[in-house]
Structure 1
Amino acid sequence: MRRGTEVKLTPTEWHLVEALVRRAGTLVPGAQLLAEVWGPGYENQGNYLRVYFAQLRRKLEDVPSAPRHFITEPGLGYRFEP
């Protein structure tokens, strides 16, 4: 829910959210997210994460260009801040 409205997430978006929320406040390396969500062999497909996190921010963040919850640590990974 965002501002009282149900937000529809794709299965892949949901899996990314779930993976980060389980480790809230913890930096999760991009390669680890890729392997967990897409499977082994996708660890070098960082472009997938850029695209999907842009979509998630548009759907879930109040100001997608200044995210408060889905944080990118350039060159390191991603983290969820509740």
Structure 2
Amino acid sequence: LEVLIHNRGRLVSQRRLLQEVWGSSRGSQTNYLRVYMAHLRRKLEADPSHPRHLITVSGLGYRFEA
């Protein structure tokens, strides 16, 4: 979440998020990221199935919108 907030409005690639959160050993394991983002959405979004803040850009990464 911190990485996304620091890059508010900009796309952060899946690879970059994985490396910054879990280190280089997880750089290609996007399943960790999908599960983690789902948990964050359940905690932070009013309607997790229609997120307004934690936006997925399919196949590329994620973006935080204030």
Answer yes or no: same fold by TM over 0.5.
Answer: yes
In 1, the alpha carbon distance for the partners of 2:60 and 2:24 equals 19
Q: How many residues are paired up? A: 66
Percent of aligned positions that are identical: 59
In the superposition, the TM-score normalised over structure 1's length comes to: 0.79
Note the aligned Cα RMSD (angstroms). Answer: 0.5
Residue 53 of structure 1: aligned partner = 37
Residue 34 of structure 1: aligned partner = 18
Where does structure 1 differ by over 4 angstroms across 4 or more consecutive aligned residues? none
Q: Which amino acid aligns with 1:48?
A: Y
Residue 21 of structure 1: aligned partner = 5
Residue 62 of structure 1: aligned partner = 46
Q: Deviations over 1:1-47 (max 9, x none)?
A: xxxxxxxxxxxxxxxx1010000000000000000000012111100
Larger radius of gyration: 1
In the superposition, the TM-score normalised over structure 2's length comes to: 0.97
Q: Which has the higher contact order (CA 8 A, sep 6+)?
A: 2
Q: Which amino acid aligns with 2:9?
A: G
Instruction: Structure 1: give runs of 5+ residues left out of the alignment.
Output: 1-16
